[in-house]
Structures are given as C-alpha cells and as structure tokens.
Amino acid sequence: MSNLFVELKTPITGSFQQPTGLFINNEFVEGIDKQTFEVINPTTEEVICSVHEATEKDVDIAVAAARKAFEGSWRQVTPQQRSIYLIKLAELCEKNIDLLAAVESLDNGKSISLARGDVNSVIGCIRYYGGWADKVEGKTIDIAPDMFHYTRSEPLGVCGQIIPWNFPLLMLAWKIGPALATGNTIVLKTAEQTPLSGLIFATLVKEAGFPPGVLNIISGLGRVAGAAISSHMGVDKVAFTGSTPVGRTIMKAAAASNLKKVTLELGGKSPNIVFNDADIEQAISWVNFGIYYNHGQTCCAGSRIYVQDGIYDKFLEAFKKRAAENKVGDPFHHETFQGPQVSKIQYDRIMDYIKIGKEEGATCEIGGERHGDKGYFIQPTIFSNVTNDMKIMQEEIFGPVAAIAKFTHEEEVIALGNDTNYGLAAAVHTKDLNTAIRVSNALRAGTVWVNCYNLLHHSLPFGGYSESGMGRELGEAALANYTQNKSVAIRLSGPLF
C-alpha cells in the first residue's frame, strides 16, 4: 500500500485499511505541499496515524474539481439518479456500520454504542434526502392571460462545508444530504481532531457511483483549509457547524469575498426546566442524558438546569446519584456511556471552566476532577448555587459539566431560560399540557423538547435563534439552504402592447 493508506486496528473490526489522503475527484491524493498532521487517540493520548493536510492550493484543486462536476457530469444526472446514488450510499453505510462506528470511537472517543447510534442516524439522514432528490419542485404562478410564469428551484453550485469533531459522521451526513439531493457539488473539510471516519466514508461515495468531483472530502486545519474555503471566490455557499467565534469569522470571510451564502449552526447554553409536577424519575433520566450525552460535547446540551423549589432538594440528590452512575471509561467497552473528551485542548478548556465555577462561588456537588490517569477523561460534574451571571451559566463549556439552579415561578424561569446570547434548544418537564405549551412558546430556542431531551430526527428542522446560528438543517427546511429560486416569465403570442 502507498502512504495514502495505513493499517489500523480496533477491537470491533480487527485490522483495516485507513485512507489518509485527500479525497478529490474520487481518488485519494497527497496534498501539493505534502504536509501531514497527526491524529491522536483521546483514550490513550497516543498517535493513531498521520493524515494528509490540505492547504490553500489543495482547496483550489478541490474547488476546481467540484466546479467541473457541477458544470459537467453532475448537471446531466437526473434527480431520480441523484436519489438512487444517495440511497445506495445509505445502504453502503449500513453494510459498513461496524467499521464506521469503530473508527468514530477510535478517533473521537465516543462510546461504541453512541457511535453506532450516530451511524444509524447517518443512514436515516442520507436515505431521507435520497427520498427528497426527485421531489424538489417549482411552481406555476398565474399572473396574466398572455403570460406564463413559473419558478425553478436550482442548486447553488459549489458548496463548502466545514464540520466539527463532536459528531464527525453525523454532521457530514446533515451537510451532504440536502446539498447532493438538490444537485450541488461539495468540498467538505472535516475537523482536524477527527478526520478518519470521513475518509472511510469517502470510499463509500466512490462505491455508490457518484461521478468524480461531486463530493470531495479533505482533512485540514481550520485556519488554513477552513479559511481558504470560506474566502474562496469559486465557492457559492459555505455551511458551518462549530463555535460562534469561528462562525463570525466565516461570515466575515464570505462577505469580504464573493458574498457566498452562509448557514451557521453554532453553540448553545440550553435551559432544561423541571417543574414541580414533573415525573421526577423520568426528568432525572432526561436531564442526565441532556447534559452528559456525547460527554457534554453537544451543541444543544442541556447545560443549565432549572428545577422548581418544591422538588429541588429531592431532585438534586437523585440527580447526583444518577450522574455518578454514568459509566466512564474505554469507549470500546459495551457498558461505557462516557468516553474521553476529544482532545487535550478541550480537556483543558473544560477543567478551566470547572476551576472558574469554583472561584465564582458555585458548589461542586460531584465530580470536578480528571477520571483516571490516562486519556482526556473528566468526571461527570454538577455545580449548584449558581446564578445566571456566572460564566459557567453563560458560556458554552462543551463538557460533562451541569449547572443547577432553583426557581419559584413560571415567569421567572422563562426569563432565566431566555437570559442568554444563544438560542439553540430548551426543554420543559411537566405533566401539565398547558404549562408545556405556554413555556415552550415563550422560550427563544430553535428546538424545545417536552419531557425528553436530545431527541433529533432527520425529518425535523434543527437550528438556532440569536447567536446559535442561521438557517436550518434537516427536514424539508434544509433544502432551501441549498437552492435558489429562479422566476421565468414567458410572454405568450398575442398583440404587442
């Protein structure tokens, strides 16, 4: 094998060939400058392998490939055939679920059961958009008897897509599904912390039969390849998921270049509200899942927990017990719920927030320390005695750190819940339908869950209010992010005016 593949091993798959090149025009290639970067296993802190790094020159090549496909072979492909390709791709993911999930666990550190869940969602999402490909329609609009007007939904062109490391494959699927269904071509950059599963996925793109250049997947650094994509004159749209500061940078780059369309899915600091009349056992499970799912590395994590005063003490005791029972450890162990944080940088960032929480005067009820002595593991942590002005109540920690506070009145908790620059998600736990609907309507968030948390589905739009982003992913709504309307006005034969 060339240096474009390396033999790796996981407890699930045994040995397999991991591609390491840049996937451009359906081939793995080296970067022009032959640069590479190391991929670290967050469980062991050891190097897994090195992958080829895309620089600006490689972004140029990938964009040119995507442009050529957009103007050429891909344009000739019918919507029905796009649907067939996507559905075939979903089938190939299904066939390779063990490999995709194992590589995700190895690279990201998420438990194998969560990784399998992610891949199942990937399959559902790609299949769903396969279903949409031949159902994107225009309209005829009746305006005058001597005219015929219709609209077309046309693709935008070359889409740059920049994804994060918390759900490497799932974010890839959310991005490529609607873009390919609507006839665009893509240059997608994976996160530098987690490039491996995207490269395995690339082999399936080729096997599914997509023409060369339609979907290019490159590994690279944000400030290099990511910046090159967002400022590229040949990219018609950029879709990004990640931190709010980088979202701002991308918008600026888009504005300063060719005013490419921008959609952003950014951070959050989501309130999870428990009323006195909630089913406590259920609420504790969902609150626990809301914050600790994916090690707290979830943009919609329910990190601000507000519990009504009638049940607060009982809730806190039971929640502490529940959180302490979460199994932290080897992602490949079938009972593990929480693996390591993705990187040393993220580990340090979270531990800093824990320190800040203590300095701000909050009470660390459980956790607050490293778990074990190897890997980027952090104990499930709960802070009480928090106020809304504290940093740990305002800033995205992106780790297994919950902050819990007491409230008395409904209006009070709505105000507390909305006291944030973000607006990605929220949840309400109550048995009263009126409370559920009233509070859901009053919360400024793109998604509100009632008596559950973190339940996303590819049919349901997802995205943020305020600084949590712009545009919606998933569902029919995402198609609008990848199409533009053309109005055609035809004058029918008749007397000239």
CA distance 33 to 458: 39
Q: Which is nearer to ligand NAD, 208 or 238 (CB)?
A: 238
Comparison of 308 and 454: residue with beta carbon closer to ligand NAD: 454
Question: Least Å distance between CB 298 and ligand NAD?
Answer: 7
Amino acid identity, residue 159? Answer: C
Total Cβ atoms within 10 A of residue 135:
11
Shortest-Cβ-distance residue relative to ligand NAD: 222
Nearer to ligand NAD, 231 or 435 (CB): 231
Rounded to an integer, what is the distance from CA 70 to the centroid of its chain? 25
- Contact pick of 223, 314, 321, 355 for ligand NAD (by CB under 6 A): 223
Closer by beta carbon to ligand NAD, 223 or else 409 = 223
Query: What gap in Å lies between CA 166 and CA 343, rounded to an integer?
Result: 11
Contact window for ligand NAD (CB under 6 A) among 4-12, 74-82, 162-170, 453-461: 162-170
Catalytic sites, residue numbers: 265
Specify the stretch interacting with ligand NAD by CB under 6 A; choose among 83-91, 239-247, 322-330, 482-490: 239-247
**The one among 13, 44, 151, 249 contacting ligand NAD by CB under 6 A:** 249
Q: Does 252 bind ligand NAD (CB under 6 A)?
A: no
- For residue 269, how far is the Cα from the chain centroid? 15
CA-CA distance, 190 to 193, in Å (whole number)?
8
- Burial-class residue 334 by CB neighbours within 10 Å (0-12, 13-18, 19+): exposed
Per-residue x/- marks for ligand NAD, 314-353, CB under 6 A?
Answer: --------------------------------x--x----
Asked if 266 touches ligand NAD (CB under 6 A), the answer is: yes
Is residue 230 involved in binding ligand NAD (CB under 6 A)? yes
Closer residue to ligand NAD in complex, CB, 265/330: 265
Buried b (16+ CB within 10 A) or exposed e, 429-443: bbeeeebbeebbebb
Sheet holding 140-141, edge to edge: 140-141, 147-155, 483-491
Cβ closest to ligand NAD, residue 338 vs residue 483? 338
Is residue 55 within 8 Å of residue 31, measured between CB atoms? Answer: yes
Among residues 431, 391, 245, 400, which one has the least CA distance to residue 322? 400
Site for ligand NAD contains 398 (CB under 6 A) = yes
- Whether 53 and 36 have beta carbons less than 8 Å apart is answered as yes
Report the b/e string of 279-294 with b at 16+ CB within 10 A: ebeebbebbbbbbbbb
Q: Is 35 in the site for ligand NAD (CB under 6 A)?
A: no
In this chain, which of 92, 119, 169, 191 binds ligand NAD, going by CB under 6 A? 191
Q: Does 218 sit near ligand NAD (CB under 6 A)?
A: no
Stretches 49-57, 59-67, 75-83, 215-223: which one binds ligand NAD (CB under 6 A)? 215-223
Q: How far apart are CA 274 and CA 428, in angstroms?
A: 6
DSSP-derived secondary structure letter, 474 = S
Instruction: Report, in Å, the least distance between residue 140 CB and ligand NAD.
Output: 40
Answer yes or no whether residue 473 interacts with ligand NAD by CB under 6 A: no
Query: How near is the Cβ of 52 to ligand NAD at its closest, in Å?
Result: 15
Per the CB < 8 A criterion, the answer to whether 410 and 439 are in contact is yes
Q: Are the CB atoms for 376 and 399 separated by under 8 Å?
A: no
Number of residues that bind ligand NAD (CB under 6 A): 28
- Phi first, then psi, for residue 187 (nearest 5°) are -120, 110
Nearer to ligand NAD by Cβ, of 201 and 398: the residue is 398
Q: Which two tokens stand for residue 252?
A: 């600026």
Minimum CB–partner distance for residue 84 and ligand NAD (Å): 30
Among 102, 162, 173, 479, the residue binding ligand NAD under the rule CB under 6 A is 162
Interface ranges with ligand NAD (CB under 6 A): 162-166, 189, 191-192, 221-223, 226-227, 230, 241-243, 246, 249-250, 265-267, 299, 346, 349, 396, 398
